[in-house]
Amino acid sequence: MASEVENPSPATENRIDGGNTASADGNPTIEIASDSSESKVISKKQAKKEAAKAEKIRRKQEEASSAGAASAKLAETDPLACNYGDVPIEDLQSKAVTGRKWTEVGMLDAKVANGTVLIRGVAQTIRAVGKKMAFLVVRQFTATVQCVLTVSEELESIVDVEGVVSIPTEPIKGTTQQVEIQVTKLHCINRAVSNLPINIEDAARSEEEIKEAEKAGEKLVRVNQDTRLNNRVLDLRRLQIKQFFVCSVLWKMYAICLCPKCISAVSIICDCACEGGAAVFKLDYKGQAACLAQSPQLYKQMVICAGFGRVFEVGPVFRAEDSYTHRHLCEFIGLDVEMEIKEHYFEARTVLDIVDRLFVTMFDYLDEKCKKLLDAINRQYPFKPLKYLRKTLCLTFEEGIQMLKDAGIEVDPFGDLNTEAERTLGRLVLDKYNTEFYILHRYPLAVRPFYTMPCPDNPLYSNSFDVFIRGEEIISGAQRVHFPDLLTSQAKARGIDVSTISAYVNSFRYGACPHGGFGIGLERVVMLFCGLGNIRQTSLFPRDPQRLIP
């Protein structure tokens, strides 16, 4: 797969050819040539394993949705119950795009006074005013707004607030926006644990404030450097520190994400699980066992949990597996993107919509502005211009499987597509839809990383996708699981020692928005756009299993 899973396991690269092979559990399987109409036989033991995994996930989803059932029961006795409470997990699994209009907290001002708005943010502070009223400050990115409502608890939880904007008679202290929201609806999207490791208000105090308070006889909590760094996800929620990392003119409020390339030995299992079991480059880090990161995936999710909203990174990615193919490198440049979503990873300006607009815009630019450069390439390496649609074609995995079956090619409906199947599907899509650039989504959950969100209607499938150019994958992406309990159960189902990924899982215990993203291998995109036969032609100094110089 691409930047997230750019180099799949060598087993997934094998061409379909005649003969007997063995499955991972040692049971015999039979692979049939791609031009045969016979079925691929799967070992019974492996099939039982996959069914057991799916059943575990299904039970977990049922347990998680019990909150929704409780809310429905409450509605029978409280006519206003629909205006508050926890949002059921299935409603956060990209169930539907409702078309509700969301307002950014930073856009709230006198111009929208008396209008009804819907916002999502972090419950930053709550101040009770009497027995029946409270002021809730909601934070989104670096903007804050005061909301008037009845008392609630659990700070740093993610909430949706709907209400009418009003202009207070006196200036509001402690918020960036000088308007109030008279709350009519309040729903919790993701609850933070009651006792946070650090208090954001404490972490935001300057050393000077603390010293001045001490002079006045007041004792304030001092959060030391190690405590901050050990709880970095929470520390990054400080408004001040965001200013260090944010460049608001880049990509419409995307923040630059600079994830570590050296990770600890305890993170190796997590990194391998993240990338489908790919091998890592191990190294000595001042006496500590470490490795080169295969992906910024887990870290960019943690940055989203820190409240950055949208992040991207362009940087090196390292894969140590022995893949001797035309499209794999041991080091490549990845473009990784992660972003919050409101309801669905299909919604406007989110994940798949970004993929569509980004690549169509990029292809248009290359064809229109870089014609001389492309002509020069074409003279030595002749290729046909890429065919693509104004609105990118999006097919489900099941539709792709059916197209292959209709062409007489049998593939496992719950397995991943190998290289030959992907190429064949690419030719079928070109013949039917006249495009060489398309999206395939709703992959089987069993073939995706453990952090992938299951589909709300069928836990055997997932809210994930791959993107293809000329029959080869360039992007892998998905909606992520942002519930720690579901994340833990899916990791255990894959045989992952959860203790090795505790820092990652814990970042979702402090309140996390629904989110998703994708990764792109840039050298592969260039190779396929220009119709080149080998990815080494698009890398300045390629690194593969046999090449370390120049």
Active site residues: 319, 321, 327-328, 473, 476, 524
Give the DSSP H or E segment for 492.
Answer: helix 484-493
* Two tokens, residue 178: 């000088």
CB 428, CB 404: distance < 8 Å:
yes
* Two tokens, residue 228: 């901050």
CB 394, CB 400: distance < 8 Å:
no
Residue labelled with tokens 């756009």: 529
Q: What span, in angstroms and rounded, lies between the C-alpha atoms of 129 and 150?
A: 9
Contacts of 479 (CB under 8 A, 6+ apart): 93, 94, 341, 345, 351, 452, 453, 463, 464, 514, 515, 516
Q: Give the closest residue to 319 by CA, choosing from 356, 293, 286, 345.
A: 293
* Two tokens, residue 174: 């402690």
What's the Cα-to-Cα distance from 449 to each of 57, 298, 454, 493, 545, rounded to whole Å? 14, 11, 11, 11, 24
For residue 159, what are the β-bridge partners?
121, 188
Contacts of 299 (CB under 8 A, 6+ apart): 257, 259, 260, 293
- Coil, helix or strand for 158? strand
Pairing of the two strands 515-521 and 472-479: antiparallel
Q: What span, in angstroms and rounded, lies between the C-alpha atoms of 311 and 354?
A: 13
Pairing of the two strands 116-128 and 158-166: antiparallel
Contacts of 529 (CB under 8 A, 6+ apart): 363, 366, 386, 469
Q: What span, in angstroms and rounded, lies between the C-alpha atoms of 436 and 431?
A: 9
What is the 3-class SS of 64-82, one letter each residue?
HCHHHHHHHHHHHHCCCHH
Q: What span, in angstroms and rounded, lies between the C-alpha atoms of 208 and 201?
A: 15
CB 463, CB 478: distance < 8 Å:
yes
Q: What span, in angstroms and rounded, lies between the C-alpha atoms of 148 and 465?
A: 41
* Two tokens, residue 3: 């930047």
Cα torsion 30, 36, 38, 44 to 10°: value is: 30
* Length of the chain in terms of residues written: 550
Give the DSSP H or E segment for 190.
Answer: strand 180-190
